Amino acid sequence: MVPLTRGSGAAQTAQPPPSRPGLAEADLVEGLKTSDDRAAEQFVRDYGPAALRVARRFLESEDDAEDAAQEGLIQAIRAIGSFRGDSALGTWVHRIVVNAALKRVGAIERDPTSSLEGMMPVFDRNDCRIEPLHTLVPPVDVLLERRETRAFVRQSIQSLPQGYRVPILLRDIEGYSTREAAEAIGLSEGALKVRLHRARAALKKALEPLFKGGHL
């Protein structure tokens, strides 16, 4: 079976638009290593938009997101000497920006007090699941054609408590492995998996209105 989600995160790179003119990646990296101002400016203009988008996923405040993107880009320029080209520059920058955003998110709650009450699976006294059955569920691509679907999914993610939102962002969106995500936020792999599963269960519950015929 092909794993559903491991390593299939949606947004693992911070690639610049392919049509943007300027230095090629190798020349850009060399320019940054030699402190070329033109290369630095192009780097920010090329990778800044994606860095901002990544930071906005983790931080609600636009100011915080801009600060995190800025920190990430500065750190990337400072560390460019350690870029070996094993991955695309965008992938490398992406990880640095995620780390900068995580610092601003703050410490992940060890024992989240925020409740997911009403969002978890329901079982009867015999440990049998009680689950609604939706008989006419539109396919994912049909759901995606509706503008309100995207807004609803984004809002549903944002409404998760921070201790659950960050694990689901790292694993399912940013493409981190379980181990990488656990290390990034200082949890054990086991704790990360528990958080991720609860977050997905809560998200599934939140998205159920979409599955009831697809209209909100």
Which residues between 51 and 110 bind other proteins (CB under 8 A)?
A: 52-53, 57, 66, 69-70, 73-74, 77-78
Among 44, 105, 116, 191, the residue binding other proteins under the rule CB under 8 A is: 44
Contacts of 130 (CB under 8 A, 6+ apart): 122, 123, 124
Q: How many angstroms separate the most distant Cα atoms in the chain?
A: 68
Q: How far is the CB of 22 from other proteins (least distance, A)?
A: 14
Q: Do residues 97 and 14 make contact, with C-beta atoms less than 8 angstroms apart? A: yes
> Which residues on neighbouring strands pair with residue 122, listed in sequence order?
130
133 binds other proteins (CB under 8 A): yes
**Looking at beta carbons only, is 114 or 215 nearer to other proteins?**
215
Least distance from C-beta 110 to other proteins, angstroms? 20
Of 46-54, 90-98, 110-118, 181-189: span binding other proteins (CB under 8 A): 46-54
Judged by CB under 8 A, how many residues of this single chain contact other proteins?
72
Q: Which of 89, 42, 98, 46 is nearest to 69 (CA)?
A: 98
Check if the beta carbon of residue 184 is closer than 8 Å to that of residue 177.
Answer: no
Amino acid identity, position 82: S
Out of 28, 96, 149, 184, the residue judged to bind other proteins by CB under 8 A: 149
Burial class of residue 88 in the structure, from the number of CB atoms within 10 Å of its CB (0-12 exposed, 13-18 middle, 19+ buried): middle
- Piece of 21-29, 83-91, 101-109, 140-148 that binds other proteins (CB under 8 A): 140-148
The interaxial angle of helices 189-211 and 147-158, nearest 10 deg, is: 140
Here the tokens at position 68 are 């995190």
Site for other proteins in 173-192 (CB under 8 A): 173, 178
Piece of the chain touching other proteins by CB under 8 A; list 90-98, 101-109, 179-187, 194-202: 194-202
Give 27 or 145: the residue with its C-beta nearer to other proteins.
Answer: 145
| Shortest separation between residue 184's beta carbon and other proteins, angstroms | 18
Site stretch for other proteins (CB under 8 A), options 23-31, 100-108, 110-118, 139-147: 139-147
Q: Are 101 and 55 a contacting pair, CB within 8 Å? A: yes
**148 counts as binding other proteins under rule CB under 8 A:** no
The answer to whether 8 and 173 have CB atoms below 8 angstroms apart is no
